[in-house]
Structure 1
Amino acid sequence: EKQNLFISIILFFLFFSVIFCSWRIGQAGRILVVPMEGSHWVNMDIMIKALHSRGHHVDVVRTNKSWYIKDDAPHYKTITVSVAKTFHKDFLNPILKKVFAYRREKTSIMSFVNLLIEMFRTMFDMHGMMCKMATTMLEDKELMGDLRRKKYDLVLTDPVWGAGIILAHALELPLVYNVRWVTSGEGHLTITPSPLSYIPMTCSRVTDKMTFIQRVKNLFFYALYEIQDMLFICPQYQAVCDKFFGPNVKYTHLLQGADLWLMIVDFVFEFPRPTMPNVVYIGGFHCKPSKPLPEHLEKFVQNRCSFC
């Protein structure tokens, strides 16, 4: 009789577990989005609308000085972070004008060097603002407590800046990228093997069939990205990691450690290159209103929701 009672209890718990898991599968996911301003927000907003249309709850982190991301919308709620300074609509205009002028005109080596210095300074300032935003969020105990209580299933971010990456680590949440560029440059260079002998660097104006001189040129542009990252970008984010997580947590590892990379490129317009299993190519998804949401992201959310 005791044995029958024991078996009955086990069967009851098994039945309850199945019912609980089935209920979780049918539930909507909770997604925390940390987007980039400007044109990057356009395709992120389309993705958010698709997630909302499928029943998922989306919260979007923005600053109080945001110029594209409106406060609350039918398809998302906003979490506003107060910052003293952020880049505005015209922040990049001066440097972009100089880049275009350099492209059009035959200029001297010194002009090129001066342009590089100004670009490095601009990137340093921009990422410095993002590091201050990340610091403001992590120091706000009320905000962080509220984010933890909401029990998000994942963080979706544009890794062209690192605030979302650091926030995901602080909340111990899976990380999904809506990506072409990361803080250190082109996304592929961060996660995939990229032999410089046949992988052209952005702005190098070479193809995958290079002469020796062209390979040297390609290496030069790669070195510029590395110098910019090592001297002006990564140390700022690492300082935030050191302050809140300790020196054993490396920002470069957090950057590389995203669970899913939704890469906004199409191989039709790219040279052949190595890739990784967790990189999904979704180039042009925002031009397809019938299926605006990549199925891989939908499955990723559902898998998180179905975890018992």
Structure 2
Amino acid sequence: FSFAQTLAFMHMAVGQEKSDGDRAVGGMLVYPTDGSHWMSLRDLSLAVSRRGHRVVVALPATGNLMVGETPGLDSETFPVPLVDKHNLLDTFLREVVFRETDGVTEFTFKSLESMNKRFAAMCDSLLGNVAVMQRLRAHNFEVLLADPIDPCGAILSDALGLPSIFLMRGIPCNIDLKAAHCPAPSSYVPQSMSGFTDHMSFTERVTNMFMGLKQDHLCIDFLLKRFDELARRHLGRDVTAMELLSNASIWLHRTDFVFDYPRPTMPNMVNVGGLTSDDARPLPQDLEEFMQSSEEHGVVVVSFGSIVSAIPYRIANVLAEGLGRIPQKVIWRYEGPTLENLSNNTKVMSWLPQRDLLAHAKTRVFVTHGGSHGIFEAICYGVPMLGLPLFGDQFENLARMQSKGAALVLNIHSLDAGSLASSISTIATHKSYKEKASLLSRLHHDHPQKPMDRAVFWVEFVMRHGAEHLRVAAHHLTWYQEAGFDVAAFLLAAIVLVTSVFIALITICCRWLCRAKHRNATVSKGMAASKKH
């Protein structure tokens, strides 16, 4: 365990909700990030609220795919440039998710640029709205919670004078590691979206190093540049977004080393992978009856996440045909036109209780796009997976699960009904997939605290104490001091100096010896000549 996790273990009582008389009353501001990122922020915010703290969400008025009014959370709404969320979703599905590319390049450059512009426009609207900012200051919050994939949270925390807590799964270019001054040796820490494992060949290590250099340029000169300008304009001083991100009190990483490759962490980094995965509930009666009707064959759960419930008709028909060929029953989250290949064994729903279904004893296989929430839920309940990645980090998420023996991965664009059916049958009938998934589940659960309890503890810890004592001294060093280049330069200069002095002394000695030898030879010749005479 890290220091942060050990200290959290010593305060395990945080998992028990306080009585009304004992509840702490504080305040937390949440700057939300749209899409699936909001799910983790929302659930942690609700958990903090249940502890008796006032939680307020800075809510954009329009243009949200998922962020909205949440029962149990207060909100401060601010106007933003008008965005049609239906057009936004259609563009996202057409140009990013279901466009046939390698997934990585398209996500890194095109979709990140679009997302970056949208984040910056919303940020500018909030920071420039004097009335809203005054209302936020009047709340006297104690801490700000945000996902650092949108750097606006870091700017807002500085503008309000609040300590920041960042809850995240991953950021392009490993910005979080750079901001926290966390070592990330390229020899065994693969760059985000590189597709490499932690066991790289020499060629892969070379590529990984150059990818890191390229991503540094991408992030500093491309992704963060807009936010550097916003920070300088709204904070009134020369500061960068990276500097503001580095002020984070605590980094809550949705990471678990049964899912992710082991790597170094820092004292103010806390792993809370799977914080939304626990506490499954009993299924509604109709779903329970459907599950039980599957008898010994069991059920396959199919879901492509919270946003991607509507998929191209051609791909949906291939999926429907393949699912119709397996003996298991199927529950599929799907929104779209009626499918001509849909079979009687398949139940289609516009929404499904994914976590509760994965926790059910009759579930045999989870067909997933590879989002981190779904994978953590599958790990939590020991369900093997068939992966059909669509974009972003889903490719490497599923590659990790496949390398651990708990998943198979197919290309959704070249998918045919036969390969889908045979892959599901392989996972369902070969015991090794279930055994590997069950092992990951046992490792995930064998901790002194649940991930959500650990996350709530650290939010309250920062409210009480801050976390300055967990920040390494590297934050106060220049880049060349942190890398040890100044010491290396001194040692190199010392070696050069000592070597130069040594060579000079040797040269002087050699010259002296040569001159002495020459003088001796001259004297000897003179003496010999005298004897002849």
Question: Aligning the two structures, in what range does the TM-score lie when normalised by the shorter sequence?
Answer: 0.7 to 0.9
Alpha-carbon distance in structure 2 between the residues aligned to 1:292 and 1:266: 10
Q: Percent of aligned pairs with the same residue?
A: 27
> What is the DSSP-based 3-state SS (H/G/I as helix, E as strand, rest coil) of the residue aligned with 1:89?
helix
**Paired position in structure 1 for 2:171:** 182
What amino acid does structure 1 have at the position aligned with 2:162?
L
Task: Pick the aligned partner of 2:48 from 47, 51, 57.
Answer: 51
Amino acid at match of 1:35: P
Range 59-68 or range 87-96, more displaced: 87-96
1:39 maps to a residue whose letter is S
Deviation at 1:254, TM superposition (A): 0.7
TM-score by length of 2: 0.47
1:215 aligned onto 2:205 = yes
- Residue 75 of structure 1, CA deviation: 1.1
SS of 2:30's equivalent in the other structure is strand
- How far does residue 97 in structure 1 lie from its aligned partner after superposition? 2.7
Give the direction of change, closer, same or farther, for the CA distance of 1:127–1:227 in structure 2 (3 Å limit): same
Structure 2 letter corresponding to 1:159: P
Contact 1:35 1:61 in 2 (8 A): yes
Of 38, 41, 46, which residue of structure 2 is paired with 1:41?
Answer: 38
1:131 is matched with: 120
- For 1:295, the equivalent position in structure 2 comes to 454
CA distance in 1, matches of 2:271, 2:82: 34
Question: Quick one: distance in 1 between partners of 2:158 and 2:123?
Answer: 12
Q: CA, structure 1 residues 245+166, in 2 after alignment: closer, same or farther (shift >3 Å)?
A: same
**Which residue identity does 2:26 align to in structure 1?**
G
Q: Which residue of 2 aligns with 1:172?
A: 161
2:56/2:73 contact within 8 Å kept: yes
Tell me, yes or no, if the aligned pair for 1:120 and 1:232 is still in contact at 8 Å.
Answer: no
- Of 233, 241, 250 in structure 2, the residue corresponding to residue 243 of structure 1 is 233
CA-to-aligned-CA distance 1:148-195 (integer Å, 9 cap, x gap): 111001000011111211111100101001112236546335421101
Structure 1 contact 28–305 (Cα < 8 Å) conserved: no
Residues 268, 237 of structure 1: alpha-carbon distance in 2 compared, 3 angstrom cutoff: same
Q: 1:119 to 1:272 in 2, by over 3 A?
A: closer
Indicate the larger mover: 82-91 or 59-68: 82-91
User: Residues of 2 paired with 1:281 and 1:123: CA distance?
Assistant: 25
Question: Partners in 1 of 2:207 and 2:225 — Cα distance?
Answer: 27
For 1:138-153, list aligned pairs within 5 A. 138-153=127-142
Asked if 1 retains the 8 angstrom alpha-carbon contact of 2:172 and 2:192, the reply is no
With 49-58 and 187-196 compared, the bigger mean Cα shift is at 187-196
Do residues 81 (structure 1) and 78 (structure 2) align? Answer: yes
Task: Please give the secondary structure, in 2, of the residue aligned with 1:128.
Answer: helix
Instruction: Give the alignment partner of residue 276 of structure 2, picking from 286, 291, 302.
Output: 286
- Alignment match, 2:192: 202
1:50–1:254 CA distance, 2 compared to 1 (3 A):
same
One-letter amino acid matched to 2:136 = L
Task: State the structure with bigger RCO (CA 8 A, min sep 6), 1 or 2.
Answer: 1
Greater mean deviation of Cα atoms: 208-217 or 152-161: 208-217
Instruction: Give the corresponding residue for 1:30.
Output: 27
Q: Is the 8 A contact 1:29 1:305 kept in 2?
A: no
Residues 189 and 305 (structure 1 numbering): CA distance in 2 closer, same or farther, change over 3 Å?
closer
Residue-by-residue CA offset, 1:55-102 (whole Å, 9 max, x unaligned) = 11111122122231222x32101222211145733443212333x543
C-alpha distance in structure 1 between counterparts of 2:24 and 2:260, whole Å: 38
Q: How many angstroms apart in 2 are the aligned matches of 1:102 and 1:54?
A: 44
Structure 1: segments with no counterpart, 5+ residues: 1-24, 104-111
CA contact (8 A) 1:58 1:76 kept: yes
Displacement of 1:53 after TM fit?
Answer: 1.4
**Pick aligned residue for 1:70 from 65, 68, 71:** 68
Unaligned stretches of 5+ in structure 2? 1-21, 281-449, 467-533
Cα distance 1:79–1:183, how it changes in 2: closer, same or farther (>3 A)?
farther
Displacement of 1:296 in angstroms is: 4.9
C-alpha RMSD over aligned residues: 2.7
Amino acid at match of 1:97: F
Q: Which residue of 2 aligns with 1:229?
A: 219
User: Which range moved further: 53-62 or 185-194?
Assistant: 185-194
The residue identity in structure 2 corresponding to 1:298 is F
2:31, 2:144 within 8 Å by CA — same for their partners in 1?
yes
Aligned to 2:319: none
**CA distance in structure 1 between the aligned counterparts of 2:258 and 2:203, rounded to whole angstroms:** 27
Distance in 2 (alpha carbons) for counterparts of 1:215 and 1:247: 39
2:511 — aligned with what?
Answer: none
1:267-282 correspondence runs (5 A): 267-282=257-272
CA distance in 2 between counterparts of 1:137 and 1:235 reads 18
Partners of 2:42 and 2:96 lie apart in 1 by 27
Flag the 1:215–1:305 CA change in 2: closer, same or farther, 3 A.
Answer: closer
Q: Is the 8 A contact 1:168 1:175 kept in 2?
A: yes
1:304 aligns with 2:472: no
Asked whether the equivalents of residues 158 and 179 of structure 1 are also in contact (C-alpha less than 8 Å), the reply is yes
Q: Distance in 1 between matches of 2:122 and 2:462?
A: 31
Match of 1:5 in 2: none
- Structure 1 counterpart SS, 2:266: coil
Structure 1: distance between partners of 2:194 and 2:155 = 31
Partner SS for 1:286: coil
